[in-house]
Amino acid sequence: MKLLRSLALVAAAIGIVSPLATPVFAQGPLLEVYVAYLGTDDHYNSRGVRLTEPWQIVRQDRANFHRFGIRDRGDEGDRFFASMANRGRMERMILNGYIEGNAGYRIVDSNCWIRVEVYENSVKIEVR
């Protein structure tokens, strides 16, 4: 168990998962699942500044989808992040959740497909 905890901390230090995340992390019931393409528009905020953290890009994708009507082909809608308040909770939810493998790097460094499971207090993100 101590080795697993150490590995989790190392992974967190390099930006793969949160320090306390494990593959079995669900906090509360599964609320919904959606798939989205993280395109070029999702990698920049509304002021044109390049985003550098996975949670920023995922949050920008949802703001683009719900608030600005900027949608990539194949983006699915969701009810949870339609709320600006819930988009504001997204960073904490991702830190409480799980980003699989090298997904954090892929989200930041490239355009990619993601699958998001939304739980009451966390999210799980997989790159497809």
| pLDDT tens for each residue of 17-56 | 444 443 445 678 999 999 999 999 999 999 999 999 999 9
More confident residue, 117 or 16: 117
The structural domains of the chain, with segments of one domain joined by +, span 27-127
pLDDT of residue 3: 38
Question: Distance (Å, rounded) from C-alpha 117 to C-alpha 128?
Answer: 13
Whether the model clears a pTM of 0.95, i.e. scores above it, the answer is: no
Annotate 103-126 with three-state secondary structure: HHHHHHHCCEEEEEEEECCCEEEE
d(CA 19, CA 39): 28
Is it the case that residue 126 has pLDDT exceeding 90? yes
What tens digit of pLDDT does each residue of 50-101 get?
999 999 999 999 999 999 999 999 999 999 999 999 999 998 999 889 998 8
Q: Tell me what percent of the residues of the chain surpass a pLDDT of 90.
A: 73
> Which tokens sit at 55?
């949670």
